Each structure stands twice: as C-alpha cells, then as structure tokens.
Structure 1
C-alpha cells in the first residue's frame, strides 16, 4: 500500500509539474509528497525527476515509468470508486468545467434534478470560457465547444455550435435591404475576441443551400464575451456574431432578431468531454449520461441549430 501511495504521489506530481500542487490535490503536505517520491526513487534505484526551484521535469526514466504506471493507477482508482458506488449510489466530488454564461443558462438549471438522483455527489463546478487541461488539472468532465481533443480525452456531441448574426429590431428598421453578406461591408460590427488567442477570428458564412461567403463588417467594437455582445447589439449599436445558445434568450424575448436568417457560421459542436479510460468513476459516468439525457429531452440540439 505504501508503494501505491508513492506511485500516486509521483503520477500526480508529474501531471502538474509541482510537489506543492500535487500535495494540494492529494490533501497532503508538499514535504510528504516529496519524501514519498524520494522513497520511490530510492526503491527503484533511478531518479524520476530533475528538480529545480521553479518546476519538476521528468527524467528519461521518469517519462518511461509514467507511461507504464499512470493508466494502471487510474484504472485501480476508478475500480475502487466504482466498487463503492456499486454498494450504494455514485459518490464523491465531481469537478466540472463549463463556460460561464452557457453553464448558468443550460447546466446549472439541471443541478437540482441531478442532486436528487445522486445525493452522494458533491459538485465542484468551475465556470470559465477557456479550455482546461482536463486530465492534468484533475477535472472529471468539461462542457464546451471548439476545444482541441487531447490524447486520452473523448467527446460526446450534445448540440451543434452554430453562430448567427443578430441586431436589434430598431437597427434592422434603419438598415433595410440587407439580403446578402456583401450588404454588411459598411455596417458596424460587434466582434468577439477569442479568450484563448486574443484574436478576432475571420468567419466564413454558410447558407442553408451550402453557399459560402466571407463575413466582412466595420469593426465598431470588440468584446470577449458573447453575452456582452448580445447586450450591446440590443442597444442598436450594430450587428453581432454570437453563438446560438447565447442569442436564443434574446431572440425569444424579441430584444434581438437574426440578420440574414438564411446564413450562419458552422463552428463544430458543443460536447461533453471526459477521460477516455474504459473504467470511468461512477460519478463521472452518471454525470455524462445525465447531461446527454437532459439535452436530448429538452431538445437543445434543435434549439441551438441555426438551420
């Protein structure tokens, strides 16, 4: 059991590059984690880390050892968690990452039903519009769109990630005759800056007939949040290109209307991401299945579609 604890300390330290961060996740002291890894190195007769004041770096032997033991460690820990779940219901802390506004609009409202079904699960939900390192940062699952799919992570599609052009009814009344993307060249654009790259992305528009056209508008302002863009557009300040889930409440209230409703941006899918291990913890499997079920029941894929 001591060897297992030492291996866990090694794997978590390698994942995060720090004894201190590994200690925080394992509810130990940094000194205890460092001592445990040192004992493992002494038993193996090899150095696993190159240590510096700033970070830990795996040696060649450490990299090889990590590749051999990390999957087995996760499998054993998941088996233990699932055995405990089999005796009752899925339990434990469920660490999930989801976008701030999307989470508040579409995931938090499901929380009550989820906890009624699984009262032994404690949500630890992080609201952030940036992609997280699912495995390295210890998340059980993440919900979002347009994410890179790292090795060891799988994605299940929840809904299409379409973007649509929106403006206030007053703006549309003052700008009649917009029938094609070319008519937007001289219009004020409310553009979104990527929180990941800080850049304004150039989007091609797609017609329902599959015709393609570039989107060009004057840059009136740039914002880093789709909800803020919707609120700016509702004041008649220009045309915003926003994700359909953010636009939907404003479209339903009448505060915004679609501009060129036959046109939209195809931006992949909104998905739920989780570890690709065959043996998932019961809490993670319960959450993934619950989210997929609820999105299907509430037909969010149809509502989020711009077609």
Structure 2
C-alpha cells in the first residue's frame, strides 16, 4: 500500500507539474509528496524528476513510467476501495465537485437521505462554478453542464442545460413590451462571466420553430456567479441570462419572470460525470445511481427544460 501511495504522488505531481499542487489535490503536505516520490525513486533505482527551485520536469524514465502506470492507477484504487467496503457496503471518502448555487439547491438537500442509505460513505464535496479535471484533481465525480465531456470521462445526463432570459416585473414595467429578440439591444443585460475564460460567452437564442438569433443585450452588469445575476435581476436592474436550474426557484416564487418565453439558449446537457474505469468504486456508483434516480423521480429534467417550463 505504501508503494501505491508513492505511485499516486508521482502521478499527481507529474500531472500538476509541482509537488505543492499535487499536495493540494491529495490533501497532503508538499514535503510528504516529495518524500513519497523519493521513496519510489530509491526503490526503482532511477530518477523520475529533474528538480530545481523553480520547476519540476519528468526524466525520460519518468515519462516512460507515467505512461505505463497512470492508466491503471484508478482501477487499482477502485479495486482496493471495493475490497475494503464495510460489511460489503459502499464506503470511503466521496470527492464530488458541483456549482455553488446548484449544489446547495438540488444536491445538498439529498445528503441526509443518502447517508441514511450509505452510512459508511464520507462526503467531501467541493462547491465551485468551474469545470474540474476529474482525474488530475482526484475527484470521484462532478456535476455540471454546457461543456464538452473530455476523453476518459463518462457522463450520465440529468437534464438539458438550457439558459433563459429573466427579469423582475418592476424592470419590465418601466419599458415597452419586449416581443422580439432584436429589442433586447435597448435593455440592460446582467450576464455571467465564464469561469474558464473570464469572458462573457456570446450565446445564440433559438425557438421551437428552429429560428436562431444572437443575443444583443447591452452588457450592463457582469458577475461570476449565476445565482448572483438572478438576485440582481430581482432588484430590477436589468435582464439576466442564466441557466434555468438557477432561475427556477425565482420563477416559482414569482420574483422573476421569463423574458421572450418562446426563446432560449441550448447549451447542451447537464450531467453527472465521472472517470471511465473498468471497475467503478462502489461509493461512486452509489452516488451516481442515487442522484440519477432522484432526478428522474422528481422530474427535474422536465423542470429544467425551457421548452416545457
């Protein structure tokens, strides 16, 4: 087991390009990561990294070893985790990444029931609006939408990733009725900045008839959090473009209404995704199946659809 820990430290350090970043991802100290890698080098009798005060680079032997072990590391870890399940029940630390508001609204309320069913699983959930690298950042699963699923990752669809235009009735009452997308150019936009690029992505509206048109909102306010744009729209400060799961609580309590309700942005799918493995850890399978079943029973896919909503 000590050798396996050393191999994992080596793989994460190679992926991250530094001991300190690998330590952050593994929940260790940089010194512990460096010590484990040094043990592996001593055991193998070769240097795996060229080290300097400013950089960490793989040696030729390190590159070869990384190519040979990185693919099988997850399978071995999953087999060990399943072997050590408490009384045959899924167990272990479950690292999951999800968006702030989405996680608090739709996933956290499931926690008590999930732990009642799987008491030996210890949730370690991270709330962040960015798209994470599951493998290099050592996550068991993540929830998100509106991006392409990378190689080596499997996704279970939870619903559509539709975005809609919303505003308060107070804001809309102050201007002429908006009946065409071209009229948005006269309105104050409250937009979400991409956590990946830091920019506002240009989106295209579409309707049931298949027509498409670019969104031409005046960029008045920009935020990095989708729930923030909904709260600002509640204040009557403009029209927000946000994902329907974030807008839904505000629409249901009536503090926001849809603008141009026949039009929406199709950003793909909202999914629960996890590393592709021949042997999935029992804790990950339990979480995936639990969440997918809940979304199906609660008909959240229909509620997240801009066409059906």
- Provide the TM-score with structure 1 as the length reference: 0.92
Match of 1:100 in 2: 100
2: CA distance between counterparts of 1:297 and 1:278? 28
CA drift of 1:81 comes to 1.1
User: Superposition pairs for residues 112-261 of structure 1, below 5 Å?
Assistant: 112-261=112-261
2: CA distance between counterparts of 1:73 and 1:295? 31
Match of 1:62 in 2: 62
SS in 2 for 1:125: strand
Match of 1:73 in 2: 73
Gap change, CA 1:188 and 1:11, over 3 Å in 2: closer
Gap change, CA 1:23 and 1:98, over 3 Å in 2: closer
CA drift of 1:174 comes to 3.2
2: CA distance between counterparts of 1:187 and 1:23? 47
CA drift of 1:291 comes to 0.9
Between 236-245 and 9-18, the greater mean CA deviation after superposition: 9-18
Contact kept, 8 Å, 2:86 with 2:120, in 1: the verdict is: no
CA drift of 1:144 comes to 0.8
SS in 1 for 2:279: coil
Gap change, CA 1:242 and 1:26, over 3 Å in 2: closer
Between 186-195 and 157-166, the greater mean CA deviation after superposition: 186-195
Match of 2:281 in 1: 281
Gap change, CA 1:268 and 1:65, over 3 Å in 2: same
CA drift of 1:127 comes to 0.6
Gap change, CA 1:273 and 1:226, over 3 Å in 2: same
CA drift of 1:176 comes to 3.7
Match of 1:304 in 2: 304
Q: Which runs of 5+ in 2 are unaligned?
A: none
Gap change, CA 1:29 and 1:193, over 3 Å in 2: closer
SS in 2 for 1:191: strand
2: CA distance between counterparts of 1:235 and 1:178? 19
CA drift of 1:148 comes to 4.2
Deviation per residue, 1:16-47 (Å, 9 max, x gap): 33345555666766555434433433454432
2: CA distance between counterparts of 1:224 and 1:25? 24
SS in 2 for 1:85: coil
Match of 1:84 in 2: 84
Q: Which runs of 5+ in 1 are unaligned?
A: none
CA drift of 1:55 comes to 3.7
Match of 2:51 in 1: 51
SS in 2 for 1:185: helix
Q: How many residues align?
A: 307
